[in-house]
Chain A
Amino acid sequence: MAEPFKNTPPAPEDKGVMTAQNIAAALAGESQASQKYLAFADVADADGYPNVGRLFRAVAFAESTHARNHLSVLGGIGTTTENLKAAWGGETFEIDEMYPAYDAVAKLQENKSAQTSIRYALKAELDHQGIYDSTLKGVEGKKDLAAEPVRVCPICGHTVIGDAPDECPQCGTAGLYFKEF
């Protein structure tokens, strides 16, 4: 029997600065839509609308396929080595520039919850930067990461390889709530 037809996502194409800007904006839009819909899905479940929750999750997945397609057109998907470098670069920018700048503004304006949300993220990006760095060294030598669980705090995103701590060092959430991958 013939294989079922599988289309492929759009390929990279470097043509037109304005088009690249638009596709980058569309990637931002689709990514945010996906995250919002996942948040809305959890609210729908809690509100007693499990089928609306399912609809939100399905549409979030659809937006993720659009985000992936746009990222592909932009040439943003490389080998795992390149992807780890890109990931490390993104985390580094957030640590060195973005979150410190946002934190300064939130402090100046005394927006307390915003400071908490920024601090949680900044602390976790430090974990990610370190983990991506050591993982990249392995992959450059063709070595996969060790087969240990990766655990993430569901409140603040604190990320550890191996055992969860008794209590999250950033936000105090008990380790038993950490999500295991």
Chain B
Amino acid sequence: MDEVFEKRLPRPEDLNAMTEESLKAAFAGESQAAEKYMVFAEHAVEEGYANVAKLFRAISYAETRHARNHLRVMKGIGATADNLLTAFGGESFEIDEMYPAYAAIAKAQENAQASRSVRYALKAEQDHKRMYADAREQVLTGKDVAAQLVSVCEICGHTVIGDVPDKCPVCAAAKEYYKTF
């Protein structure tokens, strides 16, 4: 099956700058479409449209294929040690620059809901940064991380390895609302 896939997927390519910009923007668009459609699917379920929900999930999956193809062409997918470094870098940027800047502006503009959404994300990115750093250390020595469960608060994204707290330390949701991987 892997060979079948390998043959038909668009290959990584040295891109000219404008084409690369195009694919970057397309990757951003497809990624957002995929996320939106998953949210829309949940709402369709709540409104009693089970089959519309299924449609949204299917099309979300199609958009993830497009996002993946674009990312692959841009050489955005590497070996696991490289991918962990990329992930660590992204989280670090969000923690050190992006979310603090957005938090400052949301506060200045007294947008309480935006402040909350930014705070939830910023807190979770700190968990992620540490987990990616630890994982990379292991992978650089050729070892997988320990087989512990990873759980995520479905409200704020708080991420924990091992036991789930009784309530989320970031948003106070009960432990029933953690999703475990």
Contacts and interface: CB of A to CB of B under 8 A. Distances in A.
Interface in A78-113: 78-80, 83-84, 86-87, 90, 94, 98-99, 101-102, 105-106, 109, 111-113
Given A19-B114, A39-B77, A177-B4, A159 B40 contact: no
B112 to A, nearest CB: 7
B152 to A, nearest CB: 5
Given A39-B68, A66-B124, A109-B15, 17 more contacts: A6-B155, A10-B116, A26-B99, A31-B31, A43-B79, A62-B153, A67-B35, A71-B39, A86-B36, A101-B22, A102-B26, A111-B19, A113-B73, A132-B59, A148-B51, A157-B65, A179-B61
Contacts of B90: 33, 36
A83 B40 contact: yes
Interface in B124-156: 124, 127-128, 131-132, 135, 138-139, 144-148, 150-156
Chain B: interface secondary structure? Answer: helix
Given A5-B173, A57-B181, A65-B154, A49 B80 contact: yes
Contacts, number: 389
Contact of A144 (B50, B145, B152, B158): B50
